C-alpha cells in the first residue's frame, strides 16, 4: 500500500474535483432556472385562468395556452440540453487537465521520503508526459463512447406529459396555482437532478480515465492503482468493501453514478525502481477498518437493518454485499446487493 503522503495528495486533487463539480453544477442550475421560471409562470397563468372562468379540465385541454405549454417546455429543454452539453464538456476538459498535472504529483507522493521523479530520472527512469491530444477521447463523450448530448437529449421527454397531467389533476381537484406549481417544480426538478448526475458522473469518469492513462503510460514506475473510498457515512457499502483493491493499469475503475472513489497510484516495489535498502511502505488503514470503528447506529444506517443484523451474527461479511453490474452507458459498476439478493 502507498504511504500516507500519497493519500493526502489524492485528497487534495479530490478537493479540486469537488470545486470543479460545484462550479459546473452552479452553471447548470442557472441555465435550468430559465426553463423552470418560464414553466412556473405559464402554469400559474393557466391555473388562474381556469379558476377565474371556472373551466373544467376538458375545457382547459382545448385552450391554446395548454396545448402549447408542452411544446414550449420541450423546446426549452432542447436548448438547455445543448447548453448543458457544452458546460459538461468544458468540465470534462478541466478534469482531464487536473489529471495531467496531478498524476505525477500523486506518484511523487508515493515514493520514499526524499526521493522524487527527478531522482529516478537520474537512473534512467523518467515520467512520460502524454500530449493533451491523447486525452481527447475522454472529452465530450459518455461512458459508452456516445456524445454527452445523447444522454441529455432524454431530458424533458417524460416530465412534459407528467406536467400536463398534473395541471389537469390540479384543476379537477380545485388546487390553487401555487400548489400546482410546487408539484410541477418537483417533476421538473427530476430533469435537473438527472443533468447534475450526468455531469458529475461523466466528469469524474473523464478524470479517472485520464488518470489511468497517465499511470499506464508510466508502467516503468506505476504497476497499478488502488481504490480509495471516501470514509464517511454517505459512501455506499460496495465502495467501503472494495477500498484498497489493487487494479491493473488496463482496468477502468468500476465506479457507479455519483461515485466518489479516487485512484491511488501503486508504484513498483522500491527495489525495482533501483532503490536499494529502502523499506516498503506499510499498509494504510482501509475503509473496512474505518467502518468497524463506527457505532452500531451508523453501521446499520449504512448497511440497512436486515443486512446489519446478518453482519452482526457473522452470516455475511462486507464483500458479500458487493456485486458488479454492467450497464451499456455507465459501463461496469460496483453496486450493493439488496437484502433479497443476499437472502436476509
| pTM for the predicted model, two decimal places | 0.86
Angle, helix 4-52 to helix 64-109, in steps of 10 degrees: 170
9 Cβ neighbours under 8 A, 6+ residues apart: 102, 105, 106, 108, 109
Q: Is the CB of residue 138 less than 8 Å from the CB of residue 23?
A: no
Distance (Å, whole) CA 194 – CA 190: 6
Digit-by-digit pLDDT tens for the chain (344 residues) are 444 788 889 889 989 999 999 999 999 999 999 999 998 888 888 888 888 888 888 888 888 888 888 888 888 999 999 999 999 999 999 999 999 999 999 999 888 888 889 888 887 888 999 888 888 888 887 766 677 888 888 888 888 889 889 988 988 888 888 898 889 889 988 999 999 999 998 999 999 999 999 999 999 999 999 999 999 999 999 999 999 999 999 999 998 888 889 999 999 998 888 888 888 888 888 999 999 999 999 999 999 999 999 999 999 999 999 999 987 766 788 999 999 999 99
Q: Give the torsion sign (CA, 232, 234, 240, 244).
A: negative
Provide the grid cell at 275. 532503490
Q: Where are the domains of the chain?
A: 4-342
Cβ contact 66:161 at 8 Å? no
Amino acid at each position: 500500500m502507498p504511504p500516507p503522503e500519497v493519500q493526502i495528495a489524492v485528497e487534495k486533487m479530490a478537493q479540486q474535483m469537488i470545486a470543479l463539480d460545484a462550479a459546473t453544477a452552479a452553471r447548470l442550475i442557472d441555465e435550468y432556472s430559465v426553463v423552470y421560471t418560464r414553466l412556473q409562470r405559464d402554469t400559474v397563468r393557466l391555473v388562474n385562468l381556469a379558476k377565474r372562468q371556472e373551466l373544467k379540465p376538458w375545457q382547459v385541454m382545448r385552450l391554446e395556452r395548454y396545448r402549447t405549454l408542452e411544446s414550449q417546455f420541450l423546446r426549452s429543454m432542447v436548448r438547455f440540453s445543448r447548453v448543458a452539453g457544452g458546460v459538461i464538456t468544458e468540465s470534462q476538459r478541466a478534469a482531464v487537465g487536473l489529471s495531467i498535472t496531478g498524476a505525477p504529483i500523486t506518484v511523487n507522493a508515493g515514493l520514499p521520503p526524499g526521493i522524487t521523479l527527478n531522482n529516478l530520472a537520474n537512473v534512467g527512469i523518467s515520467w512520460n508526459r502524454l500530449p493533451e491530444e491523447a486525452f481527447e477521447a475522454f472529452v465530450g463523450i459518455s461512458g459508452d463512447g456516445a456524445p454527452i448530448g445523447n444522454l441529455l437529449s432524454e431530458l424533458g421527454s417524460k416530465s412534459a406529459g407528467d406536467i400536463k397531467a398534473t395541471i389537469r389533476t390540479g384543476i379537477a381537484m380545485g388546487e390553487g396555482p401555487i400548489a400546482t406549481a410546487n408539484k410541477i417544480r418537483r417533476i421538473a426538478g427530476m430533469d435537473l437532478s438527472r443533468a447534475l448526475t450526468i455531469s458529475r458522473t461523466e466528469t469524474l469518469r473523464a478524470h479517472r480515465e485520464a488518470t489511468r492513462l497517465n499511470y499506464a503510460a508510466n508502467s516503468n514506475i506505476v504497476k497499478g492503482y488502488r481504490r480509495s473510498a471516501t470514509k464517511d457515512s454517505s459512501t455506499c457499502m460496495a465502495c467501503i468493501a472494495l477500498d484498497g483493491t489493487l487494479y491493473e493499469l488496463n482496468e477502468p475503475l468500476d465506479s457507479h453514478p455519483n461515485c466518489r472513489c479516487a485512484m491511488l497510484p501503486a508504484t513498483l516495489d522500491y527495489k525495482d525502481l533501483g532503490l536499494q535498502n529502502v523499506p516498503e511502505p506499510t499498509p494504510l488503514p482501509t475503509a473496512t477498518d474505518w467502518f468497524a470503528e463506527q457505532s452500531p447506529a451508523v453501521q446499520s444506517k449504512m448497511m440497512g437493518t436486515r443486512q446489519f443484523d446478518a453482519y452482526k451474527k457473522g452470516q455475511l461479511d462486507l464483500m458479500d454485499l458487493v456485486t458488479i453490474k454492467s450497464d451499456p452507458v455507465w459501463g461496469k459498476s460496483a453496486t450493493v446487493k439488496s437484502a433479497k439478493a443476499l437472502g436476509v
